[in-house]
Amino acid sequence: MTAVVSAQNLGLTFKTNDGDVVALSDVNLTIDKGEFVSFIGPSGCGKTTFLRTIADLEQPTSGTLTINGQSPENARKDRAYGYVFQAPALYPWRTIEKNIALPLEIMGHSKSQQAERVKRTMDLVNLSGFEKKYPWQLSGGMQQRASIARALAFDADLLLMDEPFGALDEIVRDHLNSELLKLWDRTKKTICFVTHSIPEAVFLSTKIVVMSPRPGRVTDIIESNLPRERPLDIRETPEFLAIAARVRDGLRAGHSYDEDHI
């Protein structure tokens, strides 16, 4: 079985007017089918860049990266993944159902197929009843759910999520985290999830990739032994706290919390 994502010695250097910026350096990582992998680290550690590289939105400058055994470009053209951005990025002139149908229109699905899939994914993210609403009529949390539905609509097996709940308040965030876990369990998708919240990463993941900046690199990869079924109060158990402590250590080892560097 080939890995869903496989990176070997992956590096990415941005050329800027102030000189080269090493966004990713020597990243080695394998993500298997059905995993929930979180990428955690402070800003500038390259977690978003890595996600964008998987999505073929950035081009690596060294090493190899394959998605389902293919190049990222071919995987993108195969519509191998759904991407959820930091902001919902809904098109304001489209209703919620039309926004979710957008990838289906582009990929040439028939009208009836579009309707069926829109209905199914809207049920999946608990947005039924809001089909005809425009984005501005929905709360931030609901907008982000709609953008997740849009990423799920065309049934890609890989879901890439870039701090999707970063702009939401903690109550909404907890709620959406639980829903995301249920959704992952039901759909059996592989999920790559960027975050800078330790509890969020530990709560959601089967694997936590700790990254640190300057240059962006992986400092630790933690396999979680928590059960797949995770109620919110699992966050008070010793197992949970032990993993969280290891993540924190990993971040500290990468000098992530140093105040200097400027």
Q: Which residues bind other proteins (CB under 8 A)?
A: 55-57, 76-77, 79, 81-83, 85-87, 89, 91-95, 102-103, 105-107, 134, 136
User: Measured from the CB of residue 43, what is the shortest distance to other proteins in angstroms?
Assistant: 17
User: Measured from the CB of residue 53, what is the shortest distance to other proteins in angstroms?
Assistant: 13
Residue number, 122 or 244, with CB nearest to other proteins: 122
Residue number, 82 or 254, with CB nearest to other proteins: 82
Task: For the chain, give the number of residues.
Answer: 262
Residue number, 103 or 213, with CB nearest to other proteins: 103
User: Measured from the CB of residue 174, what is the shortest distance to other proteins in angstroms?
Assistant: 25
Residue number, 92 or 238, with CB nearest to other proteins: 92
Residue number, 44 or 72, with CB nearest to other proteins: 72
User: Measured from the CB of residue 63, what is the shortest distance to other proteins in angstroms?
Assistant: 22
User: Measured from the CB of residue 176, what is the shortest distance to other proteins in angstroms?
Assistant: 19
- Residues 210/217, Cβ–Cβ less than 8 Å: no
